Amino acid sequence: MDFNAVEETDALRLTWNLWPNSKIEATRCVIPFAAIYTPNKRLPNMPVVPYEPVPCKQCGGVLNPYASVDYYAKVWVCPFCYCRNHFPAHYQGISEQSVPAELYPQYTTIEYTLPRASPLHPPVYLFVIDTCVAEDELAAAKASVTQALQMMPDYCHVGLITYGTHVHVHELGFAECSKCFVFRGSKEYTSQQVTEQLGLRASAPGARPGAAPGAAPTGPQRQFVLPLSDPACDTAINNILSDLQRDAYPVVSTQRPARCTGTALIVAEALLAASVPAGSCMARVMLFVGGPSTEGPGKVVFGFGPDETAFVRMILYRVPVQDAMVMIQPQLTAYNFSSEDPSGISAEPALLDVLSITPERVLLLDAYFYVVLFHGATVAQWRRAEYHLQPEHKAFAELLAAPQQEAKAIVARRFPVPRVVDCDQNGSQARFLLAKLNPSATYNNSAAVSSEVIMTDDVSLQVFTDHLKRLAVQS
C-alpha cells in the first residue's frame, strides 16, 4: 500500500500504519497511537454528492465504505458501535449492482451538499474600539468607523463596544438615552456570565415559522445588534461616537494605561454567539486597538518583547499540526554518500543528539523559525579545497547541493520566512545546531563514537532517564 497516496486522498497521517491485533501487541508499541488529520485540506479529486449523509442512530457515525451492508434486508452495520441501522426510504432501491457513492471503496473521503434548513441572516459587524489612546488617534478611529458605516448596505447589522480599563457594551435599541453595560476589565468572564449579565439567552433562537429570510431577532438580542436601516441604530451610534472620550481612569506616570483587550474580545464573542443564529451568517469583530493588552486575560507577559510574544503566538495559532510539531520537536536530516541509492546520496532522519554529528555528513536542521545547514569537519575541508568544482568529484557536489535545495524548498513554502544559517563543524555559527541537540557527549563525559562534544553541565536524556528509573524503583 502506498501510504503517501492514502495521505493525499484522505489528508490523514498515522504514527503506525499497521494496527495491532491484540492488547499485548498494543502494549509493546513504544510510540503511542496518534493521528494527524487536516479537515480543510484541498484535495484535487474530492467527490461531492448532492444529498445528506446517513448517520448511525446510536453513535452518529456516517455510512461509509467500511460499513457492513445487508442489501436484502436493507440494513447496514456501523463499524464504530456495531449498531444495526435501516436505510432511509430513498435508499430502498440499492443493491450490489447499484450502491450510493459513499459505499464506493475508493470514496473514503467525501463531501455532502446539505440543504439549508434556516434562512440566511444578514451579515453582522461588531465594532470594538480602544479608548486608551491619544485624542488624535481616537478621533481617527471614530472617523474610520463612521466612514465604514456609511459604506455598508442598510441590511447589515452592527453593534458597538468600547473599552479601556473596563468594557462598555452599548445598547443601541434604547432610544431614551445612551445606555451601556459595564464589565470589569481585570476579570475573566465566561460566555454564560456575559449573556446572563446582558439579559440574553445562551444562544440565539432559530428562525420563526413563516418569518421572512434575514429577519432580525427579537427580544433582548434586538437591543445590542441592530440593522443600519433602523433609525434608532443610526442615531444611537452617531451620538455615542460624538460623545466618546478617552478612558477617564487615572494612569500612574510610571505605568501604561490599563487596556483590557482580552476581556473586550471575550465579551464580543459572547454577544455575537447570543445575538446571531449559529451558522446562519457571516459575523465579524472589528477591533480598533492602540497598544498591547495590559489588563485582564491576554495581558502581555513581561520578560519577553511584546512584539515577539504576540508574533510567536499568532504564528502558533495559525499553523497546521505538522508545522506546530516542528516548532516543538525540530527535524534533523542527515545527508551521506550511499552506494545503495541510485543518486549516490542518501537523506535519512537523524536523532537530535550530538552523536549524529560525524565529519563526513551534512546535517539539515529545521527548527521552523530558522534552518541550519551544518557541514562536518571533513566535508568543510573538502569544500574549502573546492573539490565540488572538479568534474571527478561530482558526487561531492551533489552532496552539497541536496541539503541546499531542501532548505530553499522550506523557505519557499513557509511564512514567515525562516532564517537560513550555513555553518561548519567547530565554527561560531554551529551553536544554532548544538543548542538543539541532546548533550550525550560533553567535556566531562565524552562518547567514543562522537566527533563533537558540547560544553555544558546539563545532563543528557539517558542520564535523566536512568536517574528517573532509579527513583521509581526506590519508591
In DSSP terms, which residues pair with 175 in a beta bridge?
none
Element containing residue 70 per DSSP (H, E): strand 68-70
The confidence score (pLDDT) of residue 212 equals 40
pLDDT at position 316? 76
Q: Residue 459's pLDDT is what?
A: 83
Residues of the chain with CATH 3.40.20.10: 325-469
Q: Cell 449559529 belongs to which residue?
A: 278
d(CA 470, CA 475) in angstroms, rounded, equals 9
Q: By three-state DSSP, how is residue 393 classified?
A: helix
CATH code of domain 325-469: 3.40.20.10
Cα separation, 347 vs 343, in Å, equals 11
Which pLDDT score is estimated for 376?
Answer: 94
The CATH T-level fold of domain 48-115 is: SH3 type barrels. (2.30.30)
> Model pTM?
0.48
Q: Where in the chain is the domain with CATH 2.30.30.380?
A: 48-115
Q: What is the mean pLDDT of each run of 10 residues along the chain (475 residues)?
A: 80 85 86 84 86 92 93 93 92 89 90 75 91 92 92 91 94 82 91 89 44 45 82 88 89 83 93 81 89 84 65 78 88 90 87 92 94 95 93 92 95 89 93 91 65 79 87 82
Cβ(157)–Cβ(226) below 8 Å? yes
| Cell numbers linked to 18 | 499497521
Strand partners, 445: 442
Q: For residue 342, what pLDDT is reported?
A: 77
Q: Count of alpha carbons within 13 Å of 121, Cβ hemisphere only?
A: 27
- Tell me which fold the domain 124-206+217-300 belongs to: Rossmann fold (3.40.50)
Give DSSP secondary structure letters for 120-188: PPPPEEEEEEE-SS-HHHHHHHHHHHHHHHHHS-TT-EEEEEEESSEEEEE-TT--SS--EEEEETTSP
Residue 208's pLDDT is what?
A: 41
Closest CA to 362 of 410, 405, 417, 325: 405
